[in-house]
Amino acid sequence: MEALAHVQEPRKTPTIQDVARFAKVSTATVSRALSAPGKVSEATRARVSEAVRVTGYTLNQTARSLRQRSAKAILVALPDIRNPFFSSILDAIEREAALRGYGVLVINLYFGRQTVGRLQDFLLSNRADGLLLLDGSIEVAQLQSLRDQAAMVPVVIACEEIPKSGFHTVLTDNIEAAERATRHLIDLGHTRIGHLLGPEQNIVARERHSGFARALDKVGLEVRPEWCLRGNFEMETGYAAAARFLSLPERPTAFFAANDESAIGFLSGLRQHGIICPRDISVIGFDDLGVTPHIDPPLTTMRQPREMLGRMAAEALIDMIEGSANREKPLRIVLRSELVVRESTGRPPSVERADAPALP
C-alpha cells in the first residue's frame, strides 16, 4: 500500500493553448507557424518552436494531414444553449446528420470568449469534420484563421450572418420580415409604433430595426427614438422595458419586439400595471417559439422556418465534407419568414382609430 503513495498523477497532455500562452501569441498564430511556417515571421516561428519544445506539445498528425480519416461528426457552435430558439434548429441538424451517418457535437460559446481556440481544439484534434456556426458575433479575422489550418475545415454559418466572411451561409429574411411585421401594425391602423430592440452589437437585432424603420418610412412615419426601448432578446429586459414604457409622456399604441422572449416579458410587465393587450396596446414578436400560442394573449409573431434552416445548414455542411459541394464559391440561402396573426394585435384604442396612411 505504501508504494501507491509514490505513484505520480498522470501529466496533462499539453494543448495548443499551452503553446500559445508560452509564446505569447494567439492559437491561430501557433497553428500557422506549425502548418504553414512561411506565413509567419522568423521571430514568431522561433518563439513557437521554443514553446513547443518547453511544453512538449505534439501536433496531431491526423488533423495536420488533409483529413486522412473522417470523424463522421459535425461540430455545432451556438451562443447560448439556454435559449429555446435553438432547440428546433438543433433537432433538425441532428436528424439530417443522422440520416447522412454523422454524429453531432454541440459547443456552447456563451461562457468565456476564447471562441476560436475552443473551436480549433475540436477541429484540429479530429473530433469533427466540419463546423456549423450559429453565432454571428465572431470577428471575420478570427473565423478566417480556421482556414489557415492545413485541414481546411469546412464551415457553414447559419441564423446570424457574418458579412464578408466568405463562408457558406443559411439564414432567414430578418429585414424583410421585420418590415412585414411592422406593416401588419400599420394595416391595423396604428400610427404610433414603438420598437423593443435587441442587443445593439447583434446583427440580427440591427437588421430587424432596419426593417422596422423601413416600414415606417414607406408610409411617412418617423422612428421616434424615445419609443425604441433597449433590450437583449431576454424576457427580463422585456419586463423592464414595460416600466420605461409607462414613464413615456406620450405612448405608442403598438410595439414590434425584436424577438418573442422580449415580447413575452414586455406583455407580463404591462399586465402587472393593468395595461391589457390588445385592448390598450398591440404587440408583435419574432421567431414563433413553441410557447407563443399558449401565453395570454397568444402572441402574433413572425415564424422563422427554423427546422428547414437547421436541415439545410447541416445538408450544406455535409455536402462540403463529402466533396459534393463547391467550397470556394460561397453559398447564401435566405429563407422567408411567415406572419402568424394571433390575439396580441388589433385595432388601436378608440382615440387612435383614424385610418392609417395609404401604403405605396
Pairing of β 282-287 and β 300-303:
parallel
pLDDT digits (tens, 9 = 90+) for 151-185: 567 889 999 888 877 889 999 999 999 999 999 99
Q: In whole angstroms, what is the distance from residue 120 CA to residue 140 CA?
A: 15
Sign of CA dihedral 18, 23, 24, 28: negative
pLDDT at 4: 39
Decide if 170 contacts 136 (C-beta within 8 A): no
Decide which of 79 and 251 is more confident: 251
- Per residue in 185-237, pLDDT (tens digit) is 999 999 999 999 999 889 999 999 999 999 999 999 999 999 999 999 999 99
Q: Which CATH number fits domain 174-304+340-352: 3.40.50.2300, 3.40.50.300, 3.30.2130.10, 3.30.200.20?
A: 3.40.50.2300
Mean pLDDT of the chain: 84
Q: Judge whether residue 355 has pLDDT over 60.
A: no
C-alpha cell at 28: 491561430
Which range (9-13, 37-41, 239-243, 259-263) has the least confidence? 9-13
Q: CB 342: neighbour CB atoms within 10 A?
A: 17
Please tell me the least confidently modeled range out of 163-172, 284-293, 350-359. Answer: 350-359
| 74-105: pLDDT as tens digits | 999 988 888 889 999 999 999 999 999 999 99
Rounded to a whole number, what is the largest CA-CA distance in the chain?
Answer: 91
CATH class as words, domain 70-172+306-336:
alpha beta
- Global pTM? 0.75
Amino acid identity, position 7:
V
Which comes out higher in pLDDT, residue 67 or 324? 324
pLDDT of amino acid 43? 86
**What is the H or E stretch that residue 316 is in?**
helix 306-321
Query: What dotted CATH number matches 9-61?
Result: 1.10.260.40
Q: Cis ω on the peptide bond leading into residue 14 (within 30° of 0)?
A: no
**In which residue ranges of the chain is CATH 3.40.50.2300 found?**
70-172+306-336, 174-304+340-352
Please write the tens of the pLDDT for every residue from 30-76.
777 776 666 778 788 888 888 887 887 765 443 443 344 578 999 99
Confidence of residue 325 (pLDDT cuts 50, 70, 90): low
Contact 276, 268 (CB under 8 A): no
pLDDT tens track for 111-165: 545 666 777 777 776 788 889 999 887 777 666 666 555 356 788 999 988 887 7
